[in-house]
Amino acid sequence: MADQTPPEAAPANAGTAPSYSLVGQYTRDLSFENPGAPGSVMLGGTNPNFTVGINVGVKKQADDLYAVEISLNAKAERDKTVLFNVELVYGGVFRVKNVPEQQLPALLMVECPRMIFPFARHVLATIVQLGGFPPLMMEPVDFQALYIQNVRNLQAQQAANSQPN
């Protein structure tokens, strides 16, 4: 028998409690370049140097719907030769209800990306592997630290712009 709470036992504020949920996920953009193929997959030698960039963007879709997108860029080079370059924009659509306005940016820029990042990381690892290389295994991202850094950069930029000349 399913465990269900009778309607009369539901909390009175259930309709106004803050909540968010993932409605759907998508790949908006995916690009993989292997400029030295097929030779690049046969090369041995030293381990390549990797550079990885990450960015988070949010776009309001409707009253309670937000698209949160993670942009990932990864490049592998060995001896100044590009082995591969991959760009991925992976997103999720989130329904957000009754979240106080002051808490909304942190939710959308920290918690929502944290929820979809494992899927984006999987896409990135798989596409690199399909390109003929070992899968790129990204470390987990501290979206809280990234958010704080972006807020501080914005505050410093605003302070610099408000300085008299």
For the stretch 73-129, pLDDT in tens is: 999 998 888 999 999 999 999 999 999 999 999 999 999 999 999 999 999 999 999
Structure tokens at 6: 């009778």
Q: Judge whether 72 lies within some domain.
A: yes
CATH code, domain with 102: 3.10.420.10
Is 154 inside a domain boundary? no
Res 154 pLDDT > 90:
no
Q: Which DSSP helix (H) or strand (E) runs through 104? A: helix 104-106
Model pTM score: 0.81
R_g (Cα) of the chain, nearest Å: 21
Number of domains forming the structure of the chain: 1
For residues 38 and 8, the model is more confident at 38
Q: Could you tell me if residue 151 is inside a domain?
A: no
Give me the domain span that covers residue 127.
18-138
